[in-house]
Amino acid sequence: MKIKLVLSAVLFFMLASPLLAGEELNYNIINLHADADRQVENDVMVVGMSAQSETNSAVEAAENVNKMMSWAAAIAAKSDGVKSQTLNYQTRPLYKNKALIGWSVNQQIRFESKEFGTLSTLVGTLQEKLRVDSMQFVVSPERQRATMTELIVVVLGAFREKATLVTATLGGRDYRLVNLSIRQDSPIAPYQRAYQAEVMSAQAAPPHVEAGDSRVNIRVEGSIQLIF
């Protein structure tokens, strides 16, 4: 009988211990967060351009666009430090009073470079046959990673200082870290330039560019348990 009672007591203790350990985390829990951000100079210029042709024949319109894109690709290949990528290709019918009157073919091409002057000159040259759809400046992946690494150290230090301050202010002896998460936001550029095709097509001079900055932000969110 004694053996059964002892075994029952041990079994109860084994079952209750995890519950008690779990319950400990329900007391003196404080939720905290800390932010760190930095303005980072944009070091990549991205330009979107397109070739378009409207004729009575879909085949002729396609040939015209293909010729313009081949011409643009050949010129871009001579520009050091400029990456290019062809994008959407679209063919659509043109109607007037519900009657088919022609075809429109459009294809986009994307240019990317850290050499702003080189890309600006290329854009000015290509405006002879292509139109500028958009222009924006972004932070390169390598600069973004370097900035994020620096900010992680800063934001974790800020979180630790907050935890220490809260613990001391509330009379705690120490604190235990319960959970922690780090959120890295994509760089936020203050603006993106978009140009009217008619205006850009009318001028042959390279566009004036100012890269500006983007804001890189990291947030740490976590919970601590105060120890009294």
What pLDDT is stored for residue 209 in this prediction?
Answer: 73
pLDDT at 210: 74
pLDDT score recorded for residue 198: 42
3-state secondary structure (DSSP) of residue 203:
coil
Same domain, 132 and 151: no
Do 157 and 213 fall into the same domain? yes
> Is residue 167 assigned to a domain?
yes
Q: What is the pLDDT of residue 25?
A: 60
154 plus 214 within the same structural domain: yes
pLDDT at 188: 66
pLDDT at position 196 is 43
Over residues 60-92, the pLDDT tens digits come to 999 999 999 999 999 999 999 999 999 999 999
pLDDT at 211: 77
Indicate whether 226 belongs to any domain.
yes
What CATH number has the domain bearing residue 31? Answer: 3.30.110.170
pLDDT exceeds cutoff 90 at 12: no
Q: Token pair for residue 178?
A: 């319960």
The secondary structure element, H or E, covering residue 27 is none
pLDDT tens-digit series, residues 13-40? 444 445 445 555 678 999 999 999 999 9
Mean pLDDT of 40-68: 96
* 197 in a structural domain: no
DSSP state of 205: S
- Do residue 162 and residue 52 come from a single domain? no
pTM for this predicted structure: 0.72
With respect to residue 13, please indicate whether it lies within any of the assigned structural domains.
no
134 inside domain:
yes
Whether 39 and 145 share a structural domain: yes
Co-location of 126 and 150 in the same domain = no
What are the φ/ψ torsions at residue 24 (nearest 5 degrees)? -60, -30
DSSP string, 31-60: EEEEEEEEEEE--EEEEEEEEEEEES-HHH
Q: What CA–CA distance (Å, rounded) separates 221 from 70?
A: 51
Q: Read off the amino acid at residue 225.
A: Q
Query: Out of 71-80, 130-139, 182-191, which region has the weakest mean confidence (pLDDT)?
Result: 182-191
Model confidence at 190, pLDDT cuts 50, 70, 90, reads low
Sort residue 210 into left (φ over 0), alpha (ψ -120 to 50) or beta.
beta
If one counts the domains in the chain, the total is 2
Q: What is the reported pLDDT for 171?
A: 94
Quickly list H helices, the chain: 2-24, 58-76, 116-126, 141-169, 197-202
CATH number of the domain where residue 97 is located: 3.30.70.360
What is the percent of the chain with per-residue pLDDT over 70, rounded to a whole number?
Answer: 80
Q: Are residues 160 and 174 in the same domain?
A: yes
Amino acid 25 reads: L
**Per-residue model confidence (pLDDT) at position 201:** 45
- How many other CB atoms are there within 10 angstroms of residue 70's CB atom? 11
In this structure, the answer to whether residues 80 and 51 fall within a common structural domain is yes
For 33, other C-beta atoms within 10 Å of its C-beta total: 14
109-132: b (≥16 Cβ within 10 Å) or e? bbbbbbebebbbebbbbbbebbbb
**Domain range for 80:** 44-138
